[in-house]
Amino acid sequence: MCGIVGYIGDRSAISVLLDGLQHLEYRGYDSAGVAVIQDDQVITHRSVGKLANLIQKIDRRELHGTVGIGHTRWATHGRPTEVNAHPHQEGRVVLVHNGIIENYLDLRRKLEKLGHSFTSETDTEILCHLVAEQLKKTKQMQPAIQKALALVEGSYAIVVMDAEDPDRLYFARQGSPLVLGLGEKENILASDVPAILAYTRKMVFLEDGDRGVISAKKFEIFDAKGKPVKRKVAQIDWDPVMAEKGGYKHFMLKEIFEQPKVIGDTLAGRISAKHGVVLPELAELFGSKKFDVDHIQFVACGTSWHAAGVARYWIESLCGIPVSVDLASEFRYRNPVIGKKTLCVAISQSGETADTLAAAQLAKRRGAKLIAVCNVQGSSVTRLAHATLYTRAGPEIGVASTKAFTTQLTVLWLLTLWLSRKLKKIKTAALEQEVKALKRLPGLVQTSLESHNEVRALAKQFMNASPVLFIGRGTHYPVVLEGALKLKEIAYIHAEGFAAGELKHGPIALVDQDVPVIALLPQGDLLEKMISNIQEVAARGASVLMIGEKNCFPKGMGTAHIPMPKASSYLTPILYVVPLQLFAYDIADQMGTDIDQPRNLAKSVTVE
Ligand code: F6R
């Protein structure tokens, strides 16, 4: 949601801003804009729709200023129009903003009484006027921003340019992400790491309440009261190339095919024949202390919530601890029973999802120990948590999550094994067996990817179907929810995932010869049950696509089959989601939708 870039240094700012905004496109947006100071003038360009529209408007040769700010806007207050696009300006104050100012109507009324008038429908323009109003008294930008923000309720990351001072940029963050990149004779502010990677890997992840100022060579950070604060400078290990398409048609396809590699990275150093599962990240939290956990509570949204759904089956079956899985947006507004013996696990690819952060905060406030499962170093959830288990998926740019999901599952399976060992619920030989199986996981995911040709051919057949039903049982129930979500997100096809045993309690009424059913039938205790469920839908004329090991396909049933490799039954969710990701991708590709940035969606949902 909304992307911010601010640049000050010795390069042409416009190139850095546009390049940065391109790397933030994945966040979702519907208008964009930039402002650069040049020859004592602020030159602003704004445009509705894709960044390409903005780029077309700008003659880079004419713009040589070395300080500027840029923004991609995901409309909340006010429609996606050029007037509502950022940057906004009032007098000296030129500003971009990500977040929501909750008391903006109240502030607007007060400012109107003081003679201010507004051109846009946005809450952001109010911020500009608020700073400009404070400037009348303080004359200096930093205290004016500080005073203005003291009046604001809501979430924000802002970058402010002073039209009368091209040597500084100002920033503040409260509830929305902002990263500071420290270069040689240049500094960059951005909503996320990929916008900065090409210039430097030295970064400061700003914290809530941080405000500050940067010049080309210096940076200063203050807390909400104006007291100087020190922040750790992190060295980011992501490679700029990781955030490029690398010859693939879409980021999503690239990310699907990266899964064997990133799962391998996620496992690296965490499993060994001698020690089983090693998670040093948890040492401090549980090290010498008695393991006093009687309940595990997952909070997450969307795809990350599906990963939690799989982990529930794993942990309950191997560790014998009750597990609750909640949608963060629901959890935060109920009165959950959480105590000191609760271990809360917040799963978030981005680490910035507003609902997940609020849910995790609530659990922590009530005394729970908090672990984050996250892909982004230094992100908000990692700072909130007592410990973080990083997925090592690299930057995920496609809005629809793929490699983040399978690396989350990998980490959650490691956590399950670690817990079962800690609780002495698993025998050494069984653990050794599972560690052996894990070593083969990247290779098995590679084999799952080999289904691509078959999937692509089938996608043509399913292209005009709606709805599409997905059915699965046990750990594969959350996987079919994920398969259906992928199809909805990128192909805009109505799809639903069902626990196969639930069909006859209602959803089977949907089934006829025009409704395709995709069924996951891995080897195991539930195979016979799944076959019965497939019979139920086949008897009603549905064409059934079965995904499973070759010897599991019941004879004479199913319209199509996708064979999967043999694997330890715990690992099959990680393998079986792969053809579902490819299936959604291929249908969307044939339909020609905007796969990496599907309509109405944002990658990082930083507001409620
Ligand atoms: C779906 C998808 C979303 C996210 C959800 C949570 O493909 O990407 O459903 O999973 O918005 O995001 P994170 O994991 O960043 O908290």
pLDDT digits (tens, 9 = 90+) for 198-247: 999 999 999 999 999 999 999 999 998 889 999 999 998 887 777 788 88
pLDDT in tens, 432-484: 999 999 999 999 999 999 999 999 999 888 888 889 999 999 999 999 999 99
The token pair that represents 478 in the structure block:
């959350």
Among the three residues 429, 448, 467, which one is the final residue of a domain in this structure? 448
Residue 477 lies in a domain: yes
Residue 603 lies in a domain: no
To the nearest whole percent, how much of the chain has pLDDT over 70? 100
- With CA atoms as reference, report the closest residue to 492 among 518, 454, 515, 463: 463
**Average pLDDT in the 382-400 region?**
94
Looking at ligand 1, which residue's alpha carbon is closest to its atom 3? 302
Same domain, 345 and 229: no
Output the ligand 1 site: residues, CB below 6 A.
Answer: 301-304, 348-350, 353, 356, 400-401, 485, 489, 605
Residue 400 lies in a domain: yes
Residue 486 lies in a domain: yes
Residue 377 pLDDT grade (very low, low, confident, very high; cuts 50, 70, 90): confident
Q: How many domains does the chain have?
A: 3
Q: Which residues fall within 8 angstroms of residue 191, CB to CB, at 6 or more apart?
A: 2, 3, 4, 5, 24, 27, 98, 157, 176, 177, 178, 179, 604
Same domain, 179 and 315: no
Residue 231 lies in a domain: yes
What is the CA(488)–ligand 1 centre distance, in A? 14
Looking at ligand 1, which atom is closest to the CA of residue 350? 15
Residue 594 pLDDT grade (very low, low, confident, very high; cuts 50, 70, 90): very high
Q: Which residues fall within 8 angstroms of residue 428, CB to CB, at 6 or more apart?
A: 276
Please report, for residues 28, 498, 534, the alpha-carbon distance to residue 540 in angstroms, rounded to integers and kept in the order given.
41, 17, 10
Q: At what angle do helices 572-591 and 476-491 cross, to 10 degrees?
A: 20
Same domain, 420 and 487: no
Which CATH number is 439's domain given? 3.40.50.10490
Q: Cis check for the bond before 467: say yes or no (omega within 30 of 0).
A: yes
Q: At what angle do helices 141-150 and 123-138 cross, to 10 degrees?
A: 130
Residue 559 pLDDT grade (very low, low, confident, very high; cuts 50, 70, 90): confident
H/E stretch holding 165? strand 165-174
Provide DSSP, 117-160. Answer: --SSS-HHHHHHHHHHHHHHHH-SHHHHHHHHHHT--EEEEEEE
Indicate the top mutation candidate among 349, 384, 396 to test ligand 1's pocket, ranked by most ligand atoms within 8 A of CB.
349
Looking at ligand 1, which residue's alpha carbon is closest to its atom 5? 302
Which pLDDT value is given to residue 500?
Answer: 96
Residue 596 lies in a domain: no
Same domain, 314 and 330: yes
Q: Are 480 and 601 in contact (CB under 8 A)?
A: no
What is the CA(353)–ligand 1 centre distance, in A? 8
Longest CA span, the chain = 82
- The residue segments making up the domain with residue 218 are 3-242
The token pair that represents 149 in the structure block:
């923000």
To the nearest whole percent, how much of the chain has pLDDT over 90? 82
Is 552 assigned a catalytic role?
A: no
Same domain, 355 and 227: no
The side-by-side arrangement of strands in the sheet containing 369-374 is 323-327, 295-300, 342-348, 369-374, 387-390
Please report, for residues 17, 551, 580, the alpha-carbon distance to residue 5 in angstroms, rounded to integers and kept in the order given.
6, 54, 35
Among the three residues 448, 469, 504, which one is the final residue of a domain in this structure? 448
- With CA atoms as reference, report the closest residue to 44 among 73, 21, 23, 65: 65
Same domain, 206 and 263: no
Same domain, 440 and 457: no
Q: Is the pLDDT of residue 557 over 80?
A: no
Residue 600 lies in a domain: no
What is the CA(301)–ligand 1 centre distance, in A? 6
Indicate the top mutation candidate among 1, 303, 375 to test ligand 1's pocket, ranked by most ligand atoms within 8 A of CB.
303
Higher-scoring residue by pLDDT: 76, 95: 95
Residue 10 pLDDT grade (very low, low, confident, very high; cuts 50, 70, 90): very high
What mean pLDDT value characterizes the chain?
93
**Average pLDDT in the 353-366 region?**
96
Residue 332 lies in a domain: yes
Same domain, 170 and 274: no
Active-site pick, 254, 369, 488, 603:
603
Same domain, 234 and 250: no
Same domain, 26 and 57: yes
Among the three residues 404, 422, 448, which one is the final residue of a domain in this structure? 448
Q: Are 504 and 464 in contact (CB under 8 A)?
A: no
Alpha carbon distance 381, 391 (integer Å): 13
Same domain, 167 and 62: yes
Alpha carbon distance 200, 177 (integer Å): 18
Q: Which residues fall within 8 angstroms of residue 224, CB to CB, at 6 or more apart?
A: 146, 149, 150, 174, 209, 211
Q: Is the pLDDT of residue 604 over 80?
A: no
Active-site pick, 2, 301, 344, 552:
2
Same domain, 147 and 218: yes
Alpha carbon distance 203, 378 (integer Å): 10
